[in-house]
Amino acid sequence: MTLLELRDLTITYTSARGPVPAVRGVNLSLDAGQTLGMAGESGCGKSTVAMSILRLLPRSTTIGGQILLDGEDVTGMSWGRLRAVRWAAASVVFQGAMHALNPVRRIGEQIAEPILLHNGAGAASSRQSDVDRAVAELLERVGLPARHARAYPHELSGGQKQRVMIALALACSPRLVIADEPTTALDVMVQAQVLDLLAELVAERGIGLMMISHDLSVLAQTCQRLAVMYAGRIVELGPSHQVTTAPVHPYSAALSAAFPTVGDPASRMAPRGLPGDPPDPADLPGGCPFHPRCGVSQPECATQDLQLRPAGPEHTAACVHAHVPAQEAAR
């Protein structure tokens, strides 16, 4: 059974300005042992999709469509069932999460917490020595010495804290890990180490990994498939090497031509060579939402908003320029 399947997912925030349709009809699937990247500029809906999978959005948010985790629809789960699923079936490494560690509690206690919560405080596996051993094993697995269990967050570097976050995400052996910008705050060397670690864990434990980044080069390095989001929709989906080296959608092409400079916030917000900003989801232009910024738009792009269409084997794009001979698309 497919580990994660999003079917026509729509997510609308409620704000003082009115409804904000942040995600508009996303279809995606991810199997165990697979890696899927999600790319796109700031505000295109990546974190919103990620948070919806464990229902971590504000209560006032409206979710439409289905979020199937091992075939079970998350949108209909009771809070009790959700608590069981979080950590144990699926876990999230949040954007900027290393700052979310509790500063006054030791690392080991923080990793032990979900283990104790999910095993039940009375269970045999909750004996202090067993939990300590589990914490030490997790720390070692993410490349940290077990003695760091006694450290406080301020005693660790940014890269070490991000490893702790990955250890936390793995604490209850989930089958799905969602990593939202897991390396954005890290320098290039540490970033590469954290990415290698995630890739090893996927291979070793058969985890399904959904990784979010604005940086296509990071995703291409780690993920088999890549989804490019724009204005709340997937505009291109295909094998990573295809999407990065032979992009079909002009937006993907602009992103891949503009690998952001690490550590430069300006390049993150506006890829070089791409004029303007992504639209406000509450005020989308008619037609293809990308057409006002597109260098190759056609007259019909101002009126037609295309669905994803075949652009090659296992490759789709929502663009008038996505054309492949029918026999090639069927291969």
Ligand X SMILES: Nc1ncnc2c1ncn2[C@@H]1O[C@H](COP(=O)(O)OP(=O)(O)OP(=O)(O)O)[C@@H](O)[C@H]1O
- Residues found near ligand X in the complex (CB under 6 A): 13, 15, 20, 22, 40, 42-48, 58, 95, 214, 281
Q: Report in angstroms how near the CB of residue 269 gets to ligand X at its nearest.
A: 8
Residue number with CB closer to Mg ion (89 or 212): 212
Q: Report in angstroms how near the CB of residue 298 gets to ligand X at its nearest.
A: 27
The Cα 29–Cα 141 span in angstroms is 28
Question: Choosing among ligand X, Mg ion, none, which partner's interface includes residue 45 (Cβ < 5 to 8 Å by kind)?
Answer: ligand X
Residue-by-residue DSSP string for 12-48 = EEEETTEEEEEEEEEEEEE-TT-EEEEE-STTSSHHH
Residue ranges in 82-101 that form contacts with Mg ion under rule CB under 5 A: 95
Neighbouring-strand partners of residue 13: 20
Question: Choosing among Mg ion, ligand X, none, which partner's interface includes residue 110 (Cβ < 5 to 8 Å by kind)?
Answer: none
Q: Report in angstroms how near the CB of residue 49 gets to ligand X at its nearest.
A: 7
Q: Report in angstroms how near the CB of residue 203 gets to ligand X at its nearest.
A: 27
Question: Choosing among Mg ion, ligand X, none, which partner's interface includes residue 281 (Cβ < 5 to 8 Å by kind)?
Answer: ligand X
Question: Choosing among ligand X, Mg ion, none, which partner's interface includes residue 174 (Cβ < 5 to 8 Å by kind)?
Answer: none
State the number of CA atoms in the 13 A half-sphere of 8 facing the CB. 2
Q: Report in angstroms how near the CB of residue 18 gets to Mg ion at its nearest.
A: 22
Question: Choosing among ligand X, Mg ion, none, which partner's interface includes residue 15 (Cβ < 5 to 8 Å by kind)?
Answer: ligand X
Distance of CA 37 to the CA centre of its chain: 7
Binding region for Mg ion (CB under 5 A) out of 20-28, 40-48, 164-172, 298-306: 40-48
The Cα 236–Cα 245 span in angstroms is 13
Calculate ∠ Cα 129-200-46, nearest 5°: 100
Cβ atoms 162, 186 nearer than 8 A: yes
Binding region for Mg ion (CB under 5 A) out of 41-49, 216-224, 260-268, 275-283: 41-49
Q: Is 52 in the site for Mg ion (CB under 5 A)?
A: no
Question: Choosing among Mg ion, ligand X, none, which partner's interface includes residue 22 (Cβ < 5 to 8 Å by kind)?
Answer: ligand X
Residue number with CB closer to Mg ion (97 or 235): 97
Residue with tokens 């949040």: 94
Among 27, 47, 191, 316, binds Mg ion (CB under 5 A): 47
Closest residue by Cα to residue 138 from 192, 205, 50: 205
Q: What is the dihedral of CA 47, 172, 220, 10, to 10 degrees?
A: -30
The Cα 251–Cα 19 span in angstroms is 26
Binding site for Mg ion (CB under 5 A): 47, 95
